[in-house]
Each structure stands twice: as C-alpha cells, then as structure tokens.
Amino acid sequence: MNLTYKLKFPDGKRTLFKEKLIKAAMIGEIPSPEIEVSHVEFEAIKQMAVNPKLHTIRADEKDRWRADMLIHHVYNQRTGTRDNFLCSHCVSTQSIMIIETPKVSLEEGNDKVNGRMRSILVDGKFLKPPKMEELALNDGFNSLEHFFTWFPLNYSGKIIHFTKLRY
C-alpha cells in the first residue's frame, strides 16, 4: 500500500520525511528495506544530521493498515514527479488519539484546574510528557509543539510502525 508524505510543513519548511525514513533504514531501524534513491542522494542523506522517522500517524477509518503489509513510501503520488523512495513493511499498528484535557496543578494539597492542555492516548492509555515528546520526534517532528501544529484536536488514527517500537 502507498504511504504518501508531504514535502513541506504548514510553515513552508521542508519536512525531510524522505531523508528521515531513509536514515532509519540506513541505521538498521527499519527491517529489510529497499531504498530507491541514487548513490549521490544516499551519500548526502548519510551525512545529514536528522533524527530517523520510525513511524507515521494516519487516519484509518476503514481499518486497512495491518502488520506485514508492504509499504511504498512516496512523495508526489499521482503526478509525473512521483518518487517511490523506500519500500518496507508495517511491523505493527497502535491506535492514537489527541485530545484536550484539563491542566491540573497541585497547590497546598488541593487540585486546581489551570487551563487546558493537549494529551495523547496510545491504545487507550495516556502518555506522560517525555513519551509524548519521544513520539513526536520518532514521527519526524522537531518537537512536541511542532507535532501539535500538524495534528488537530480530537484526532483519532493509527501509528503505523516501521520498527518494533511500541508505546
């Protein structure tokens, strides 16, 4: 199945998702990849200081994503400049929800609601802030704040894992 990626973030900066995925394949994080880039591009990516992209998050209303599916990682799907730069397999999936919850602070033993915050649930369990940051970085974003600019509130989907990593 094809997984298409955007070339740019909403702020206009390049996503570098291709480079981050190929970096993950280069360092052995993605099992049995087929990298489909030129030697020159491969060598350039090898020198780049980017964090590897270990998974992607997608809406999956039809429940199509499953373990062992062949994945074609693609830029510019259905265009004359289609770039199928990597083939790999889905190792596993996990459900993900991004919701808004009350921000609670403890003050003199009393719970006080102090605004609202975004929370991430994976397989129905809340992630703690360090794990939320890890998830954002492993999905190819620069920070958790950057991740939250991409995904809307009340988002529901799947984490499509390219590695054995689980949250």
Best CA proximity match to 98, nearest among 67, 65, 136: 136
pLDDT in tens, 54-65: 999 999 999 999
Q: How far apart are CA 43 and CA 22, in angstroms?
A: 11
| Residue that the structure tokens 């200081």 belong to | 49
CB neighbour list of residue 92: distance below 8 Å, 6 or more residues apart = 67, 161, 164, 166
Q: Is residue 73 within 8 Å of 140, Cβ to Cβ?
A: no
Dist CA 82 CA 72 (whole Å): 11
Give the residue extent of every domain in the chain: 2-89, 97-155
Q: Using CA atoms, how far apart are residues 94 and 158, in angstroms rounded to an integer?
A: 5
Residue 32 pLDDT class (50, 70, 90 cuts): confident
Where does the pLDDT of residue 117 fall: very low under 50, low under 70, confident under 90, or very high at 90 and above? confident
What is 23-68 written as a DSSP string?
HHHHTT-SSS-EE-S-HHHHHHHHH-------EEEE--TT----TT
Q: What is the pLDDT of residue 111?
A: 59
Q: How confident is the model at residue 101 (pLDDT cuts 50, 70, 90)?
A: confident
Average pLDDT over residues 79-89: 94
- CA 86/CA 10 separation, integer angstroms: 24
This prediction has a pTM of 0.89
pLDDT at 51 over 90: yes
What is the reported pLDDT for 107?
62
